[in-house]
Amino acid sequence: MTEPRLYPPVEPYATHRIAVGDGHELHVEEVGRPDGVPVVFLHGGPGGGLVPAARRFFDPLRYRAVLFDQRGAGRSTPFGELRGNTTGHLVADLETIRERLGIDRWLVFGGSWGVTLGLAYAQTHPERVTGLVLRGVLLLRRSERDWFYQGGLRHLQPDEWERFVAPIPAAERDDVLAAYHRRLHGPDEAQARACAVAWGRWEAVNSSLRPDPGVLAHFTAEEQALPIARILSHYAVHGGFLGETQLLDGVDRIRHLPAVIINGRYDLCCPPVSAYDLARRWPEAELRIVPDAGHSAAEPGIARELLRATDRFAGLLS
């Protein structure tokens, strides 16, 4: 299969450190041209942080792309901090960044957890959004969490599921997510680190059709596996600090905005049923199910649709 045309690697023309309260300071970067179409990139995880390749989905001659590490993630500090770290805080951070950079309205581009945050933000501040590009839909409903953390996915990944649950005693496997949360946030540091590596492997091997060694190394690296797993479990066990159907029920507030919803047919992290449910509530949005892709934005079919969407929005919003 032909690899998608990503825009060339590019360095930020500006970087910022923005204090957002609760002791958090965010790393923010701007890429492209200062007078370009504003777009904000929302990374996954939560806790995943930015990678340089994220800059390459936006035409640098047409976009002013704003990318940032969310609270506790990447180069934002304190790394792994959970205090003052909820979806509501992250929504407020987006407004702080937008106001600090003097942007009136912007396109929202998010993948996986970035979809969750993007929808929460857009539904809270629809007047500040010009449109949405959403990849790998995660609504953090109980059915989605049960699929990924409570055994649904074991039918497709039985060997990896056995590795994932190995640190959890059989008597506690009726609620694997809660058992992991207790250990990741418990007083036994050695146990927490061992659980973090197992958790990180589970996240990584399900993030694309063919597991990416780089992603696996990132999620299981000793210095960052535990902070990332703690943030992920913090949000997962609390359902993203959202109501069960909050993001679907809030669609009416953003139906007037143009949107593209992209999902891999074989996405193991975020099965396409969630994208389909979102599109049914949002018939004006364009749904694109990629027939030969999983979850990762780096997979050729997903990347191709993302580029098509950002190129189209660049013309629409110029």
pLDDT in tens, 80-125: 999 999 999 999 999 999 999 999 999 999 999 999 999 999 999 9
Q: Are 156 and 259 within one domain?
A: no
- The three-class DSSP label of residue 81 is coil
Percent of the chain with pLDDT over 90: 94
Domain boundary among 210, 240, 270: 240
Please indicate, yes or no, if residue 8 is contained in any of the structural domains.
no
Decide which of 240, 265, 280 is a domain's last residue: 240
Residue of 24, 125, 218, 295 with catalytic role:
295
Asked if the structure places residue 89 within a domain, the reply is yes
- The pLDDT of residue 218: 85
Could you tell me if residue 65 is inside a domain? yes
Domain annotation covers residue 1:
no
- Check whether residue 29 and residue 122 sit in a common domain: yes
Nearest to 153 by CA among 302, 271, 293: 271
Residue 223: predicted pLDDT: 86
* Euclidean distance between CA atoms 228 and 58, whole angstroms: 27
Asked if 295 is an active-site residue, the reply is yes
Same domain as 216, residue 236: yes
CB count within 10 Å of CB 202 equals 23
Note if 234 is an active site residue: no
Q: Among residues of the chain, what percentage have pLDDT more than 70?
A: 99
Which residues, in sequence order, are CB contacts of 201 under 8 Å at separation 6+?
160, 163, 164, 216, 219, 220
Question: What is each CA distance from 67 to 26, 31, 160, 298, 316, in whole angstroms?
Answer: 10, 8, 33, 17, 21
**Inside any domain, residue 5:** no
Q: pTM of the entire structure?
A: 0.97
Residues 133 and 250 in one domain: yes
Query: Which residues constitute the domain of residue 83?
Result: 14-140+242-317
- Asked if residue 133 and residue 34 are part of one domain, the reply reads yes
Same domain, 33 and 122: yes
Q: Is the pLDDT of residue 4 over 80?
A: no
Same domain? For 34 and 136 the reply is: yes
Single residue among 183, 211, 240 that ends a domain in this structure? 240
CA dihedral of residues 108, 250, 123, 120 (deg, nearest 10): -70
Number of domains within the chain: 2
Where are the alpha helices (H) located in the chain, listed in sequence order?
87-100, 113-124, 142-149, 158-165, 176-184, 189-205, 213-220, 222-237, 246-249, 273-281, 300-317
User: pLDDT (tens digit, 9 = 90+) per residue, 45-77?
Assistant: 999 999 999 999 999 999 999 999 999 999 999
Task: Find the mean pLDDT for residues 26-50.
Answer: 97
* pLDDT computed for residue 2 by the predictor: 52
Residue 214 has a pLDDT of 85
On whether residue 7 sits in a domain, the answer given is no
Residue tagged active-site, from 112, 207, 233, 274: 112
Using DSSP's 3-state secondary structure scheme, residue 314 falls into helix
For the sheet containing 14-21, what is the strand order? Answer: 14-21, 24-32, 63-68, 37-42, 106-112, 129-137, 259-264, 286-290
Catalytic residue among 27, 267, 274, 296: 267
**61 domain-assigned:** yes
Residue 86 and residue 30 in one domain:
yes
Mean pLDDT, the chain, integer: 96
- pLDDT of 5 reads 79
Lowest-pLDDT range, 4-13, 105-114, 119-128, 184-193? 4-13
Is 112 part of the annotated catalytic residue set? yes
Q: Report residue 1's pLDDT band, with 50, 70 and 90 as the boundaries.
A: very low
Confidence of residue 18 (pLDDT cuts 50, 70, 90): very high
Can you give the CATH number for the domain in which 124 is found? 3.40.50.1820
Query: Would you place residue 211 in the very low, low, confident or very high pLDDT band (cuts 50, 70, 90)?
Result: confident
